[in-house]
């Protein structure tokens, strides 16, 4: 499918049954070859409304069966055509179930999608020469180069700065629908400029790569938090917030990728079905403690493997979750977190 160019990347699998266009355009998949576990992909085509970024940003796409026809009233084209237009290499008609079992057993690993006329030994050498995901700062490569504004829907109530480390389009939209004017800023935006004119709130976005390699936001996070500015982080943003307060992160064997991951909200004693896309996680401890970060407490836990899925600062207005509460295309169990963030800004403004 798609381009005939050789594509290199880290091979991961995604368990979503729908939403392949959102997967294709999620900046967090930069540098990865994504295997879809659902066996038929492409049946409802693609459109311009469901994109999370203007173009696909993953390295390659792997499916069991690519639908030969697409049918949906919103469809504007087919999957193969879309991949070709955007220079994305894909492969179909392979046993994605066997590939997924291999990744679950051996862990995410470097791989390639290549035409069959490529010499296997030479290709393997090139794969082994590719960098490991550990230590890679990929966020700056997908961040906006200039600030831009997403206006509030209706009356403007708050001004939110959104750090773009690979932000999905739905996150600023969720905030705008709640009366926030959102200024999306580059990953390398001047910290002094942020601290000199504090916003009503700071949103720290998702993104690709190793959080340990992204240190630019730490000073802004700590500076605004200590000034009482509410902060909300998701995915990579969650990891960056935790690291700013002293926590450490580590590489998961094969990551969490899909729209059906159960997470327990410890405060509400409820289970949320969540959308996830990350290869690293925050290191947890005993009870609600986060090692080396005494100011943080555990609020959400992954029911698959017990990893940290959410934290809250014990004194400051700071919350973060490992998953994607904007959850395009779904599920929408966790959208309340945007209301929680707005509530923190309301509390601060009313003082």
Q: Which residues are catalytic?
A: 235, 324, 326
**Cβ partners under 8 Å of residue 121, min gap 6:** none
The β-bridge relationship of strands 318-321 and 231-234 is parallel
| Residue 291 and residue 247 in contact, taking contact as beta carbons nearer than 8 Å | yes
Show the DSSP H helices in 28-167 as ranges.
Answer: 79-85, 96-106, 120-129, 139-142
Distance of CA 178 to the CA centre of its chain: 21
Beta-carbon count within 10 A of 330 CB? 14
Show the DSSP H helices in the chain as ranges.
Answer: 20-24, 79-85, 96-106, 120-129, 139-142, 170-176, 191-196, 218-226, 236-244, 336-349
Report residue 253: phi and psi, to 5°.
-55, -50
Closest CA to 241 of 265, 269, 214: 214
* 74 class by beta-carbon count within 10 Å (0-12 exposed, 13-18 middle, 19+ buried): exposed
CA atoms within 13 A on the CB side of 193: 7
Do you find a cis peptide bond into 229, omega within 30 degrees of 0? no
Task: Characterize 300-329 residue by residue with b for buried, 16 or more Cβ atoms within 10 angstroms of its Cβ, and e for exposed.
Answer: bbbeeeebbbbbbbeebbbbbbbbbbbbbb
Q: How far is CA 72 from CA 43, 45, 77, in A?
A: 8, 7, 10
Encoded tokens for 233: 């982080």
**Cβ partners under 8 Å of residue 47, min gap 6:** 21, 72, 74, 75, 76, 77
Taking every pair of C-alpha atoms in the chain, what is the biggest distance, in angstroms?
68
């Amino acid at each position: 499918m798609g381009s005939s160019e050789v594509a290199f990347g880290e091979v991961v699998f995604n368990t979503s049954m729908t939403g392949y266009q959102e997967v294709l355009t999620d900046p967090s998949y930069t540098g990865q070859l994504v295997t879809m576990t659902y066996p038929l992909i492409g049946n409802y085509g693609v459109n311009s409304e469901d994109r999370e970024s203007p173009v696909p940003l993953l390295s390659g796409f792997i499916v069991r069966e690519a639908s030969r026809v697409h049918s949906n009233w919103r469809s504007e084209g087919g999957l193969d055509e879309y991949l070709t237009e955007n220079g994305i290499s894909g492969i179909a008609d392979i046993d994605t179930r066997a590939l997924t079992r291999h990744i679950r057993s051996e862990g995410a690993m470097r791989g390639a999608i290549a035409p069959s006329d490529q010499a296997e030994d030479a290709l393997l050498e090139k794969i082994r020469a590719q960098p490991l995901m550990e230590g890679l700062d990929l966020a700056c490569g997908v961040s906006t180069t200039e600030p831009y504004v997403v206006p509030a829907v209706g009356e403007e109530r708050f001004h939110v700065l959104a750090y773009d480390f690979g932000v999905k389009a739905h996150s600023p939209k969720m905030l705008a629908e709640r009366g926030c004017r959102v200024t999306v800023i580059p990953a390398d935006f001047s910290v002094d400029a942020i601290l000199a004119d504090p916003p009503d709130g700071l949103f720290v976005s998702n993104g690709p790569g190793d959080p340990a390699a992204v240190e630019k936001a730490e000073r802004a996070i700590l500076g605004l938090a200590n000034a009482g500015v509410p902060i909300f982080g998701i995915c990579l943003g969650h990891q960056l917030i935790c690291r700013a307060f002293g926590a450490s992160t580590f590489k998961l064997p094969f990551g969490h990728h899909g729209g059906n991951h159960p997470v327990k909200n410890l405060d509400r004693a409820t289970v949320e079905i969540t959308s996830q896309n990350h290869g690293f996680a925050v290191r947890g401890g005993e009870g609600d403690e986060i090692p080396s970060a005494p100011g943080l407490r555990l609020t959400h836990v992954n029911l698959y493997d017990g990893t940290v899925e959410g934290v809250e600062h014990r004194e400051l207005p700071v919350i973060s979750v490992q998953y994607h509460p904007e959850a395009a295309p779904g599920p929408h169990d966790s959208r309340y977190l945007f209301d929680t963030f707005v509530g923190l800004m309301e509390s601060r403004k009313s003082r």
